[in-house]
Structure 1
Amino acid sequence: MSYYYSRTLTIPFDQVVQKITLNLQKQGFGIITTIDLKETLRQKLGIDFRKYKILGACNPQFAYKAVSQDSHLGLMLPCNIVIQEHENNQVEISAINPMATIEESATSYQLKELANDVSNRLRTAIDNLHHDQPMPQHTEALPAEGSAPNYNAPIQG
């Protein structure tokens, strides 16, 4: 199992950043950090690097449930999304696959289900980038209504 999920697109870099931000919001995530690696390397090292941004995506409900079950899971938060421009103006977008790490170390079934849900939502956000209209959700990407725990339900308490 790969530690990331990736797609290569032929749309402008800034458009990919805007679209992934919207797609992540549709999947319940907000962007809490943005690192412009191109600008950082230019300022700190005087290096002219390709366009490369790292977005830190977080769903507070998922984060709360994860660190409530295992306090060390904060090491994997937020979920990183990398947008990088390659030759010929191709733009690659990648997201971390929490299942690659969680599957081996998870201490509970609920934690594995949570990691699977996060992985699938990140994948769906990326898969919908190249469509002008949102595609129907992958049946394997998001659980059918009532078939999995509702991690977006308000926290009681």
Structure 2
Amino acid sequence: MKYYFNTTLNENFDEVIDKVTEKLKKEGFGILTEINVNETLKKKLDVDFKRYQILGACNPPFAHQALEAEDKIGAMLPCNVIVQQKNENTVEIAAVNPLASMQAVKNEKLTEIANEISEKLKRVINQLN
């Protein structure tokens, strides 16, 4: 099982960020955190890196259910979605596969929740094309 779902688009990086955010919103996710990796690496290490952004997506009802089912699961939240510039014309979007990351946790209730979240994130990725 792959630990992510992904797709590539031939679009502008900033427009892709907006598009991903919109698709996540339609599936009930909000963005809790945004990490601009290339800016951070430049500031901290003086390294040039491709455009790479991590969006920390959260679906509050499912997050609540997951926390009720497994109180330490917060260590694996939120669901990260990355947007990275692959080349001048290509942007890749990848979302974590919650089913893959939850395999280590032996909790049937959590597996059911992870399955539903996986389906939502798959839809986001598939709707980007």
Aligned to 2:121: 122
Partner of 2:112: 113
Match for 1:77: what amino acid?
L
Partner residue, 1:16: 16
- Given residue 92 of structure 1, which amino acid in structure 2 is its aligned partner? E
Correspondence list, 1:1-157, <5 A: 1-108=1-108, 110-130=109-129
Structure 1's consecutive aligned runs of 4 or more residues displaced over 3 angstroms after TM superposition are none
Give the letter aligned to residue 15 of structure 1. E
Shift of 1:17: 0.3
Summarize deviations over 1:103-154 as a string: whole Å, max 9, x none: 452312x322210110110111111112xxxxxxxxxxxxxxxxxxxxxxxx
Q: Secondary structure at the match of 1:19?
A: helix
**Which structure's residues are more often strand, by fraction?**
2
Mapped to 1, the partners of 2:53 and 2:101 lie a distance apart of 23
Q: Select the structure with the greater relative contact order (CA < 8 A; seq sep ≥ 6).
A: 2
Aligned residues: 129
Could you say what secondary structure the match of 1:11 adopts?
coil
Residue by residue, what CA displacement relative to the aligned partner does 1:40-94 show, whole Å, maximum 9, x if unpaired? 1111111111100000000111111101111111111000000000124210000
**Aligned partner letter, 1:107:** N
**Deviation readout 1:14-45 (Å, 9 max, x if unpaired):** 11100000000000000010000011111111
Q: Identity across aligned pairs (percent)?
A: 46
What amino acid does structure 2 have at the position aligned with 1:29? Answer: F
Of 42-51 and 98-107, the range deviating more from structure 2 = 98-107
* Code of the aligned partner of 1:58: C
Q: Normalization by structure 1: what TM-score?
A: 0.78
TM-score by length of 2: 0.95
For residues 94 and 87 of structure 1, what CA distance do their matches in structure 2 show?
16
Structure 2 residue runs without a partner (length 5+): none
**Distance across 1 between alignment mates of 2:101 and 2:38:** 28
